[in-house]
A and B are shown apart, each in its own frame.
Chain A
Amino acid sequence: MKMTFSRKHLVIPYALFLTLFVVFPLILIFVYAFTDTSWKFTFSNILKFFTDYSAIAPFMLSLLTALLTTALCLVVAYPLAYFLATKKYNRSNVMVMLFILPMWINFLIRTLAMNELLYVLNVPKGMFATTIGMVYNFLPFMVLPLYNSLQKMDRSLIEAAEDLGATPVQVFFKTIIPLSMPGIISGVMMVFMPTISAFAISDILTNRDFNYFGTLVNFLFNKGGDIHYGSALSFVMLIIIGIAIFISSKFEKDESSLGGRLW
């Protein structure tokens, strides 16, 4: 049979690929999360999570660390992105390049370097060190989307607000922040998502005396734990991600600014 070629047929391989490698594996998480080892349907894996202190504690710890890291990154990155987007501080793109450059060094090596540096500075390993390590690793992911949206911002609107009698504080909260909202949202997502599930950074920067959620999932899958329970925990993570995406879509009107805008 000879089919006439049309450009739209070029989608077919990737559509099959997505079904096989993206959609089907995600369905598998649901299947594993709601079955026991003999493949019988059960809610016990999910229920176990809500009653298992050794899972709830890492979950809360990861959630808090992710929220704290995201907030710190936003507070540190916002003025930075604002200055970078202002012509008088940054005439060429070299400055921006300087902030992206470290991302090409393997993040584990960077984290180990940070670990050594904190050791020399007498900062003890633990939650504080982990949070510093996370901010260090994910700061560029906050800077770039903020920089992109602040750079696109029409600066004459700030002048207009000033001319109309707004105080600097009012200009910031009523003009600059709303105009850079797409950047804030995508930056927050790009930092929050990886931090809530990160485990390598915390493995290096703590004495492994307390678990993060990712550590626990990694343990269940790679160190011979119960993968049905592990799938249930991944399912919980999926729900958190779903909530985060839902909240961000409430703010987000320009769909292209998530992910795509970063580069």
Chain B
Amino acid sequence: MVKKILGRSYIALILLFIYVPIFYLIVFSFTDAKLMGQWTGFSFKLYADLFTGPKSAEIMTALKNTLLVGLTSSVIATLLGSMTAIGLHSSSKRMKAIVQNANQIPILNAEIVTAVSLLLFFTILGMNSFKGFWTVTLSHIMFCTPYVVLSVLPKLKGMNNNVYEAALDLGATPWAAIMKVVVPEILPGMISGFLLAFTLSVDDFVITQFTTSANFQTLSTYIYNTYSGKDSMPPELRALSCLLFVVVLLVLVLLNIKSGKKRENA
């Protein structure tokens, strides 16, 4: 009994450590003080400012850029990664080993080293004046695809190879066989790979910072570059964080309900 209480309170304590700053952020999004920690009465002003205030355009552009890069790179990473996984599954051992090892590099490497290598790469190509959406997106594809490959490969291992052969024997073209036989099997892996890629892309700061220019800011680089020197972030961001938190929470709850239903039906 004592052990149980001890365990529960330990979990609660760490949850507190993790959530106190977040709740703090949420509470202080409902007051219009410039600095956090100052309560100047309940107000929705920050939410109004987020959409119509003087900083609104900057923040919305940064948000739009973040989502644009996130979606583009995770869609491409998912396609490229799934394609690669399907290919690897029927490749020679040697080829498999080479590609899988190279695939580990972006995962194991420190972000800053990856970022430096990409910066040098774009520098040597003379692309420094083109830094922006495409350099950032290409870099994000580069560090997201490995995770897609890793989440699709196990699904292929569990698949019966004869089904693909059977489809070919029955006259399907290789393309049709892949789309109708292989893709449905690996779809869960593709979806989790996509979600992971999107999350990684949206949360990235270091690689974006090294591969973008002042003209193209994502939320991370916008926050970092606005914060520099000053003591606080633009207060509108508190309102934005709160909104994003609620959206994420809703998505997760919906996903949980859905997968819960699936389990019941099965």
Contact = CB atoms under 8 A, between A and B. Distances in A.
- A-B complex is real: yes
Interface of A: 5-15, 17-19, 21-26, 28-29, 32, 76, 79-80, 83-84, 86, 88-90, 94-95, 97-99, 101-110, 112-114, 116-117, 119-120, 136, 139, 189, 193-194, 196-197, 199-200, 203-204, 214, 217-218, 221-222, 227, 230-231, 234, 237-238, 241, 245, 258-260, 263
B227 A136 contact: no
Nearest to B15: A98
A119 B87 contact: no
Interface in B103-121: 103-113, 116-121
B10 A238 contact: no
Q: Is the interface of B mostly helix, strand, loop or mixed?
A: helix
Interface centre among B95, B108, B112 (most CB of A within 10 A): B112
A179 B138 CA distance: 40
Interface residues of B, number: 90
Contacts of A237: 110, 112-113
B2 interface: no
Contacts of A106: 202-203, 219-220, 223, 241, 244
Nearest to A133: B21
Interface string B77-116: 0001101101111111001001100111111111111001
B74 interface: no
A119 B28 CA distance: 14
B12 to A, nearest CB: 10
Given A9-B87, A260-B150, A113 B25 contact: yes
A5 B87 CA distance: 11
8 contacts: A8-B87, A8-B92, A19-B102, A104-B245, A199-B112, A259-B107, A259-B147, A260-B150
A241 B113 contact: yes
Contacts of A21: 118, 121, 138-139, 141-142
Dominant secondary structure of chain A at its interface with chain B: helix
A221 B119 contact: yes
B248 interface: yes
4 shortest interchain CB distances as A-B pairs: A10-B87, A25-B117, A11-B87, A197-B112
B187 to A, nearest CB: 16
Interface in B226-245: 227-228, 232-233, 237, 241, 244-245
Interface string B119-130: 111011000000
Interface stretch (B40-48, B49-57, B204-212): B204-212
B151 A263 contact: yes
B110 A194 contact: yes
A190 to B, nearest CB: 10
B22 interface: yes
A5 B110 contact: no
Contact of A109 (B123, B150, B206, B241): B241
B191 to A, nearest CB: 12
A245 B110 CA distance: 11
Contacts of B124: 28
